[in-house]
Amino acid sequence: MCSIGLNVPPGLTITTEACAQYTNNGGKFPEGLWEEILLGLQVVESEMGCKFGDPTNPLLLSVRSGAAISMPGMMDTILNLGLNDDSMKTIAARSGDRFALDAYRRFLDMFGDVVFGIKHALFEAEIQAVKETKGVKHDVELVSVELEEVVERYKQVYKRAGLTFPQDPYHQLKVATKAVFDSWQSPRARKYRSLQGISGLAGTAVNIQAMVFGNYDDKSSSGVCFTRNPSTGEAKFYGEYLPNAQGEDVVAGIRSPLPILELENMLPEAYKDLVHNCQLLEQHYKDMQDIEFTVQSGQLYMLQCRSGKRTGQAALKIAVDMVDERLIDIPRAIMAVEARHLDQLLHPQFEDEKADSYQSAVRGRGLPASPGAAVGQVVFTAARAEDFKVAGKPCILVRTETSPEDVGGLHVAEGVLTARGGMTSHAAVVARGWGKPCVAGCNELWVDEANHTAKLNEHHVLLKEGDWISINGTTGEVLVGKQPLTAARLTGDLGRFMEWVDQHRRLRVFTNADTPKDALAARRNGAEGIGLVRTEHMFFTSEDRIAAVRRMIVAQDTNARKEALQLILPFQRSDFEGIFKAMDGLPVTIRLLDPPLHEFLPEGDVAQISNALAATSPGVSSADIAATIAHLVEVNPMLGFRGCRLGITYPEITEMQVRAIFEAALNIAAEHTNKDNTIVPHPDIMIPLVGTPEELINQVSLVRKVANDVMEEHGGESVEYRVGTMIEVPRAALVADKIAQHADFFSFGTNDLTQMTFGYSRDDAGKFLPQYLSQSILEADPFEILDQQGVGQLIKMATERGRSTKPGLKVGICGEHGGEPSSVKFFHKVGLDYVSCSPFRVPIARLAAAQAAVEEKMTEDG
Amino acid sequence: MCSIGLNVPPGLTITTEACAQYTNNGGKFPEGLWEEILLGLQVVESEMGCKFGDPTNPLLLSVRSGAAISMPGMMDTILNLGLNDDSMKTIAARSGDRFALDAYRRFLDMFGDVVFGIKHALFEAEIQAVKETKGVKHDVELVSVELEEVVERYKQVYKRAGLTFPQDPYHQLKVATKAVFDSWQSPRARKYRSLQGISGLAGTAVNIQAMVFGNYDDKSSSGVCFTRNPSTGEAKFYGEYLPNAQGEDVVAGIRSPLPILELENMLPEAYKDLVHNCQLLEQHYKDMQDIEFTVQSGQLYMLQCRSGKRTGQAALKIAVDMVDERLIDIPRAIMAVEARHLDQLLHPQFEDEKADSYQSAVRGRGLPASPGAAVGQVVFTAARAEDFKVAGKPCILVRTETSPEDVGGLHVAEGVLTARGGMTSHAAVVARGWGKPCVAGCNELWVDEANHTAKLNEHHVLLKEGDWISINGTTGEVLVGKQPLTAARLTGDLGRFMEWVDQHRRLRVFTNADTPKDALAARRNGAEGIGLVRTEHMFFTSEDRIAAVRRMIVAQDTNARKEALQLILPFQRSDFEGIFKAMDGLPVTIRLLDPPLHEFLPEGDVAQISNALAATSPGVSSADIAATIAHLVEVNPMLGFRGCRLGITYPEITEMQVRAIFEAALNIAAEHTNKDNTIVPHPDIMIPLVGTPEELINQVSLVRKVANDVMEEHGGESVEYRVGTMIEVPRAALVADKIAQHADFFSFGTNDLTQMTFGYSRDDAGKFLPQYLSQSILEADPFEILDQQGVGQLIKMATERGRSTKPGLKVGICGEHGGEPSSVKFFHKVGLDYVSCSPFRVPIARLAAAQAAVEEKMTEDG
């Protein structure tokens, strides 16, 4: 909580360290903790003028998680703690039966759920039964006598579960605190943190606070608000509240909350105070705030504030607006937009929302709870969503409302559609956090969860599992069928923001691209060069190409191999011409043939394949080919006959590829020689899988020889080029000082380097990696997020050693970590010159690079 | 050459550096070299009183390799250089036609062969034709007029090859020197060096010396001798010579040389001088010397001396004798016996040479040229020997005589049998160098090389390729069929020597053993513990074991897996009991289950296998099993679901194995509790394939828990044990400081560490490793000889880092490099505590460890 003079109920905080000690202690309070709590309580008691556990003048408490991160609905909260049969009566006498009974039944429900694990639904069924008997719809309509029955029924729920509700307030406090501690390690909380990539936190803090009551009377209410719109970023006060309710009612999505603006009419003083406080808090934290408040009998209390979760669109708009408002400077704005925000902004959009085909497909409307376009197949449970993910099928999770148990399914779904709940409901908050499109509170939607169907009632649409729908989280529209999508554009606020980003970063950002089309797309996204052209990807683009490649593979001697390579040469040359043209003036880093040859053979019956290949390979028998194929089979292809091992054993392959590169470069330069239209190719040739200096020496000298030959054949025209090496074998990193003497540049292949450093085959790690992640043996999947301790150590070592013998050596990375923000920051820190990533990740890498530079500057500036 | 006042023909030496410069220069003399040679020649001319290239007073030269290492028959030599038609006449006028013509025809032959690559056989055919016409058997019987015809025919050989013999002596000298330089890089010389593991030498030196003539007259001769017997080590002067001959005749094996002792009768003065000189040389070098000499007209000239190649038996006897003679001290004796010598001494011997079955199989006798027993199938060419090797069939190379082209075949054969050639013939020298049994000069043997058959004539035995024979290189006997072999014993001189070794080493030597039998064998060989028990090897030793293991693998849930593990437990326990008993009091390091589970499945048709397994796995259907098998298939099993990844995913496997270990330890201790018969088990439990501290923490806590459980079940009896980890994943080496905090010991698995550090799959590297070795991209196969630069760096790093957080951490190695001498020396140097190797390599590891300690001491002592 902040301390700028707001009206906050007094309380005390138990630190995260105490939680960690508790966990390590096997679920026992650390020594002295209970005594400290009791001391803290005395202070609260004296401020509030009442006593905890005193039935004649009771102090009630709220106990809730004060986790450093927002984990919507994950962490347990217990309100109205301290109530028992006696103190309830005292409160009833003072504040009315209805209020006291309402607080008591809430406490019985939350306490039973959180401390004893009694399902909330069991309590819900009881109150529902009472409401039905009395013919009322909402809790607020229940009168005292009915609430009395609810309390009685709730106690029966305890009994039926073989439990007794503890009347002793101190016992209540102790077990409630433990329950909050425990909730940090609950499977759903762990899953949430693991999905969010959150690690390194010791535990949760616990806030024990004096209760204030939003359900005290008609001048009471509870609400949640944001200083700006968390969905669009618009600089308008935004939020929801419920009159005569406690906080949990707002987020639970059971009653539909009211827009915050209506509070002005209902409780103008409290509203004025709230707006003022919210402005103060935003000014203080220089960030959009997510605030919980309660009004008790017209008096505003601020309960909680933290930086608000927001969509990518909101993050960008807030950052840009705050710079314009001079609330923050540009570096701070750069830090305020997270990579995942940018990722959302770059997500596809609906192609044309005005088209008839779009408009005529709309079948429902809900709240635009999290913007963006999502297209997928309907599923009705989180488990089925995960099944669909495994099967590679995009899905939309359709629920009456979501609960914390659904996070796994929410995470894998393309988007979420709910029938109930507002803009701050669980589904909305989580979806916004993940940048997943969400349409919430779609009243026309009726979900029959038992039968796994749903109806969009007004349009008489029946949805079954597997049906395609589209949702528009920006407008709240629900559409049947698959609506066409299109790529996002870097214009407007985003364009302006990316300019700031580029002004602040040091790392250059290249792209991995194998075609002119990809190269152009990446250039549009800001790529400053190509860090990886996988020459072999060109082999598969047509039937005659792959046929020539296969002929090369089954060649029985060097001459036959050379003949086949002659057929491949023109294809490679024309591809390189296109790429050089697309990347005019920028470096194009081309990796020579890398994968094991058997990857180019068709799958299936060997005899059949051999016959087919023999038909197109003059002078080679089917039996010879079968023998060659048998010889190519490998036990561990990842560690087999591939990379430069191919080019050293069959130098004619390297020769052909290098010839294609230089012929392409010279051709393209010659075609565009007039002054207005010069195209400058910059080939950087990269030798894969080098582990010893001798391998590199062998291939570099071959590259230089062929390059000279081709340049001589072209009348002495020259092309500037460099020859470098991948560093992707651990040994290469260890002897990088020796390898650097023969390399113009290094490029880390972090995919292979990770495989070999860990000894994990990416294709096979699925058998144990999930287990390793769930048991916290690994903090993250090292193929997604660079393992800085192990693999990163090799990268740092190789960079330092390489530059020790070749100062100024250009060093980059072209593995998939090149587009992963935390990894990019690491690459900045160890002094790499560039990262290379897939075209659509380029803006994210640019942002991460800028954030790394800003962080570094901040650290330097202290 | 030495400089202790012996009679040595004057000459000059061109350094190895000049050779290296020449090679790097693309076969051009380095600047100034030719001028230096001419200057040096002037000195020789003034000493000899004659002039090179002066037809009226010619100086003749020998040009030969002065390589730092002996490469028998590999390096070129040209004698009688400077002869041409004119100088030949001058010499004929002065020393007689016969001598001059004999020298000239020798020169034409050697020069043509070495400089122009004209096959020696073409010259040999011409002289053979002349000898046949004249009806003489030996060269020495040819008279002047016949030699004149030989010279003429030799010149025709040049003409037919389209070449002209150069008459200019200076041109002869230049091209001869170049030819010797070139011979350093010849394929056969490179192959020899690679087979011998010789690397790091720049090139060959070249000696240009004034000729002295062993073919000058009847008081002339040429010979080769050893200061002690190179075959047995006996301290007796030993050698061979040929009267009226030049040196090449002796080693060529064309004329059968005479024993050196006969020289005493023929040339008593020269013999006396020779014996004296030899004694001087041995005293000076403190080693057995291999000496070439020539007697010209009764005057002895010493041509060359170097430490002599010897068999293992000889090396041991010479070292022990020299200590007894006080010629050398024990550390020097330790250095004088090479690991490969010891290897030979440990080779199998014939079981009983006195048995009737042995005696009745003897069919021929030759010279005992290199001792030991060899059994194999007959092959007649080096190429076929290599084919047999590939096919895994042991062979004996049977040849009339061997030549340097045969080294590849010699290297892979079990032994060599030749019809011609003496104790210093090519076959004999090379075989002794490699410790391969050799019977040379078996006169009863007639080899029909064209038809690939041979006869042992007196016994009318016809040998065809593939027939089994046995040869006894110690006695010279040749036997038909496969004679039974038996292991060598560490007694006598060897026992004494090994005591010295043990007194001087610091590294402890453990063994890799999976059975009580292996453990006992290793203990007899001096093993001080077991460094690696591969628990899974026990799985294959009987049908019911492997059946239980397969049942465990196809188990469909944890309970079924536990049931199957219960069946395996008694097997493992009884095996461990046997091993603990065998290794009483010594550490037994047990590695928990390591290989991927699919390795335990039978090969073949999946449906068939599934049916068979279903029949023995209650409650599991064939379809379930087929699905499980399909799931177990891996793309890169080496980097897949194995090692501790198994034990973490299926903790019940670790539990069973640890239970078996501790039950065995407690049982065996309980069985032997009386004071005279106590058996103390020392289990060290080793977790395989650890890459992160968390993996180790997980498994160590499980091991300790099960250990405590079992000890409690055994009434609180305790067993001392340690829990450590393999370091075989590169990442483990990088984070060794963190891993060490949870480990009692480290054991490097250098096989896997090499695979992952290089990115070489041992199963697949055959596709490129041979090419890498022949192209010198790798100096040695890193799976045979530890890669000190790369893999070694990780070992050093991990040892240092491990001990930085856990001082005194026990560190060893259990990969196959543990028995490879140069690797063992490295492990000593980086401070390991022990090496572990296969039982039969234990003595070799002990020797290498002692040599490492002695070398270290010598370096410290300066």
pLDDT in tens, A231-270: 889 999 999 999 999 887 776 666 778 999 999 999 999 9
Whole-number mean pLDDT of chain B?
A: 91
- Coil, strand or helix: which one is B556? coil
Residues forming beta bridges with residue A307, ordered by sequence position: A289
Q: Which residue has the higher pLDDT, B766 or B647?
A: B647
> Are residues A761 and B649, on separate chains, in Cβ contact within 8 Å?
no
B5-42 pLDDT, tens digit each = 688 999 999 999 999 999 888 889 999 999 999 999 99
Is residue A606 within 8 angstroms of chain B, CB to CB?
A: no
Instruction: Identify which of A211, A236, A225 has the alpha carbon closest to the alpha carbon of residue A106.
Output: A211
B415-471 pLDDT, tens digit each = 999 998 777 778 887 888 777 899 998 988 989 888 899 998 777 889 999 999 999
**What is the secondary structure of B401-431 as a DSSP string?**
S--GGGHHHHHHSSEEEESS--TTSHHHHHH
Picking from B635, B735, B755, the nearest residue to A637 by CB comes out as B635
The yes-or-no verdict on residue B510 having pLDDT over 90 is yes
Is there a catalytic annotation at residue B682? no
- pLDDT range class, residue B823, cuts 50, 70, 90: very high
> Are residues A637 and B764, on separate chains, in Cβ contact within 8 Å?
yes
Cα–chain-centroid distance for residue A664? 41
- pLDDT range class, residue B96, cuts 50, 70, 90: very high
Count CB neighbours of B151 within 10 A: 19
For residues B129 and A581, give the distance between their C-alpha atoms in angstroms, rounded to a whole number.
Answer: 73
Nearest chain A CA: its distance from B754 CA (Å): 9
Picking from B735, B767, B776, the nearest residue to A694 by CB comes out as B776
B521-552 pLDDT, tens digit each = 899 999 999 999 998 888 877 888 888 899 89
Q: Which chain A residues in 165-194 lie under 8 Å from chain B, judged by CB atoms? A: none
Amino acid at site A818: G
The answer to whether B806 and B741 have CB atoms below 8 angstroms apart is yes
| Chain B: residue whose CA lies nearest to A774 | B649
The answer to whether B629 and B598 have CB atoms below 8 angstroms apart is yes
Picking from A634, A759, A794, the nearest residue to B689 by CB comes out as A759
Q: CB pairs below 8 Å between A and B: how many?
A: 173
pLDDT of B195 reads: 74
Is residue A692 within 8 angstroms of chain B, CB to CB?
A: yes
| Chain B: residue whose CA lies nearest to A787 | B731
The answer to whether A419 and A399 have CB atoms below 8 angstroms apart is yes
For residues A781 and A817, give the distance between their C-alpha atoms in angstroms, rounded to a whole number.
Answer: 11
Picking from B635, B731, B771, the nearest residue to A763 by CB comes out as B635
- Residues in B closer than 8 angstroms to A759, CB to CB, are 638-639, 643, 689, 691, 728-731, 752, 756
Average pLDDT for residues B263-288, to the nearest whole number? 95
Query: In a mutagenesis test of the A interface, which of B734, B779, B793 is the best target, namely the one with the most A β-carbons within 10 Å?
Result: B734
B354-399 pLDDT, tens digit each = 889 999 999 999 888 888 899 999 999 999 999 999 899 999 999 9
- Residues in A closer than 8 angstroms to B776, CB to CB, are 694
Picking from B649, B729, B759, the nearest residue to A639 by CB comes out as B759
The yes-or-no verdict on residue B520 having pLDDT over 60 is yes
Give, rounded to a whole angstrom, the gap between the first and last alpha carbons of chain A.
25
- Coil, strand or helix: which one is A372? coil
Half-sphere exposure in the Cβ direction for B620 (13 Å, CA): 27
Q: Which of B395, B442, B814, B837 is catalytic?
A: B814
Query: In a mutagenesis test of the B interface, which of A764, A779, A783 is the best target, namely the one with the most B β-carbons within 10 Å?
Result: A764
Is residue A764 within 8 angstroms of chain B, CB to CB?
A: yes
Tokens in use for B155?
């010149």
For residues A264 and B62, give the distance between their C-alpha atoms in angstroms, rounded to a whole number.
Answer: 115
pLDDT of B348 reads: 81
> Are residues B640 and A761, on separate chains, in Cβ contact within 8 Å?
yes
**Residue ranges, chain A, pLDDT below 70:** 1-5, 72-75, 251-254, 674-676
For residues A13 and A73, give the distance between their C-alpha atoms in angstroms, rounded to a whole number.
Answer: 20
Q: Which of A347, A411, A426, A817 is catalytic?
A: A426
B316-361 pLDDT, tens digit each = 999 999 999 999 999 999 999 998 899 888 888 898 888 899 999 9
> Are residues A730 and B776, on separate chains, in Cβ contact within 8 Å?
no
The answer to whether B827 and B835 have CB atoms below 8 angstroms apart is yes
The answer to whether B576 and B661 have CB atoms below 8 angstroms apart is yes
> Are residues B638 and A641, on separate chains, in Cβ contact within 8 Å?
no
Query: In a mutagenesis test of the A interface, which of B692, B735, B738 is the best target, namely the one with the most A β-carbons within 10 Å?
Result: B692
For residues B760 and B750, give the distance between their C-alpha atoms in angstroms, rounded to a whole number.
Answer: 13
What is the sign, positive or negative, of the torsion defined by CA atoms of B298, B300, B304, B305?
Answer: positive
φ and ψ at residue A29, rounded to 5 degrees: -60, 135
Query: In a mutagenesis test of the B interface, which of A729, A767, A781 is the best target, namely the one with the most B β-carbons within 10 Å?
Result: A767
Average pLDDT for residues B797-820, to the nearest whole number? 96
- Coil, strand or helix: which one is B528? coil
The yes-or-no verdict on residue B1 having pLDDT over 50 is no
pLDDT of B4 reads: 52
Q: Which chain B residues in 442-501 lie under 8 Å from chain A, judged by CB atoms? A: none
- Residues in B closer than 8 angstroms to A689, CB to CB, are 759
> Are residues B731 and A787, on separate chains, in Cβ contact within 8 Å?
yes
- Residues in B closer than 8 angstroms to A643, CB to CB, are 759
Tokens in use for B818?
């543990």
Is there a catalytic annotation at residue A837? no
Is residue B736 within 8 angstroms of chain A, CB to CB?
A: no
> Are residues B734 and A790, on separate chains, in Cβ contact within 8 Å?
yes
Instruction: Identify which of A332, A248, A262, A259 has the alpha carbon closest to the alpha carbon of residue A292.
Output: A248
The yes-or-no verdict on residue B3 having pLDDT over 60 is no
The answer to whether A634 and B768 have CB atoms below 8 angstroms apart is no
pTM of the model: 0.82
pLDDT of B2 reads: 38
Average pLDDT for residues B473-484, to the nearest whole number? 92
The residues near B518 (Cβ < 8 Å, ≥ 6 apart) are: B511, B839
